[in-house]
Amino acid sequence: MKKVIVGISGGVDSAVAALLLKRQGYEVEGLFMRNWDATLNHDYLGNPTLNESICPQEQDYNDALEACRILDIPLHRVDFIKEYWDYVFTYFLEELKRGRTPNPDMLCNKFIKFDLFKKEAKKLGADYIATGHYAKVNNAKLYKALDQNKDQTYFLADITKEQLQDVLFPLGDYTKPEVRKIAVEAGLNVAKKKDSTGICFIGERHYQEFIRNYLKPNPGDIIDVETKEVIGKHTGLMNYTIGQRRGVGLSGSELRHYVCGKNVEKNILYVAFGDSKYLYSDACTLDNINLLEELPEKLTAKFRYRGEEIPIEVLSVTKEEIKIKYPTLAKSVTPGQACVFYFNDECLGCGFIKDVYKNGEKLWYLS
């Protein structure tokens, strides 16, 4: 009997993944990862900020324990707090300082879930590891899940072919409603538990309040990119992302201006009025490349998880950089975010957006 170690998070997806594998005849055990210590939350002056009756991750662990009791499988626990800080959270902060918009979930998959977790699972005798991701894997090739609305290949695109070896994604052929139904019928305690949203270590906390725990606010000018006039003050460039319109803080014009750029050196936030030409681009360069397969000349790509998948053309490929163009203009292509490649249902890997262009010129208002 083959042994599978399942990453049990305390949510419904991982619990159902374990249940399905058990029904398929595998020897199943769970492994809970503790990646963040909320008791260490502090502001940039060193003052503690945590005010919660129970750490959310400890609640998740309690839910995971109960789910595994119901499933009648063992649950192991491992702490990757230091590693998560070194490989994921430090990167997150450094990218914010550079004026970019990081994607820590992708780094967590690359360095924690499909590296350190996998090594820990092998120590426990695992033939395979499994998670509750909505995706498919076949011969170390990554494919979209049946449920296109829940497909998570975007977040998995930065893991390597080697990391995809001996990996199972049991939910790949199920929709989210089907997963919920299976959990209810099995009497799982997490059957109706709300899905976690947003960045994992922030959880339900307000984003800007959380960021102030680690980066000192640095207010500066908000400038209209077309008129070059100062029209307001921002609270710190790390609090904004390209394409944002809610929470920009322009009195009397809320929802009418979009963030379209940043200048870190001058501490300027650029905004455009309405659905402006300044929000659109037709090409970009990518760095930190991870290719699962060789790229065809024409394929599709997504610039953000919930973004539209659009046709692109590959102009050049090196180990360090890829340049692409997109015949249909794309909106709010954001430095620091991932560009994930697809050919039909297969995910071919990704690169991270470095510079953005339009009509052959680099967009000057994007740092």
What is the predicted pLDDT for the residue at 247? 84
What is the predicted pLDDT for the residue at 254? 56
pLDDT-derived band at 87, boundaries 50, 70, 90: very high
Ranking 81-85, 207-211, 313-317 by mean pLDDT, the lowest is 207-211
* % of the chain exceeding 70 in pLDDT: 91
What is the predicted pLDDT for the residue at 45? 46
What is the predicted pLDDT for the residue at 55? 61
What is the predicted pLDDT for the residue at 228? 95
Question: What is the pLDDT of the chain when averaged over all its residues?
Answer: 92
Catalytic option among 55, 68, 200, 350: 200
Q: Which domains, from first to last, does the chain contain?
A: 3-185 (3.40.50.620), 217-275 (2.30.30.280), 280-362 (2.40.30.10)
DSSP string, 2-68: -EEEEE--SSHHHHHHHHHHHHTT-EEEEEEEE---GGG-B-TTS-B----SS-HHHHHHHHHHHHH
Q: Is the pLDDT of residue 144 over 80?
A: yes
What is the predicted pLDDT for the residue at 43? 46
Residue of higher predicted confidence among 203 and 113: 113
What average pLDDT does range 134-149 have in this prediction?
97
d(CA 89, CA 119): 21
What is the predicted pLDDT for the residue at 285? 98
Catalytic option among 108, 260, 339, 347: 108
Helix (H) or strand (E) holding 180: helix 176-185
Nearest 5 degrees, angle CA 53-CA 85-CA 87? Answer: 145
Ranking 40-54, 161-175, 312-326 by mean pLDDT, the lowest is 40-54
pLDDT digits (tens, 9 = 90+) for 194-222: 987 666 666 656 777 888 889 998 999 99
What is the predicted pLDDT for the residue at 48? 52
Confidence (pTM): 0.92
Helix (H) or strand (E) holding 101: none
What is the predicted pLDDT for the residue at 365? 94
108 is catalytic: yes
What is the predicted pLDDT for the residue at 323? 97
Fill in the amino acid letter for 169. F
pLDDT digits (tens, 9 = 90+) for 5-37: 999 999 999 999 999 999 999 999 999 999 887
d(CA 207, CA 220): 19
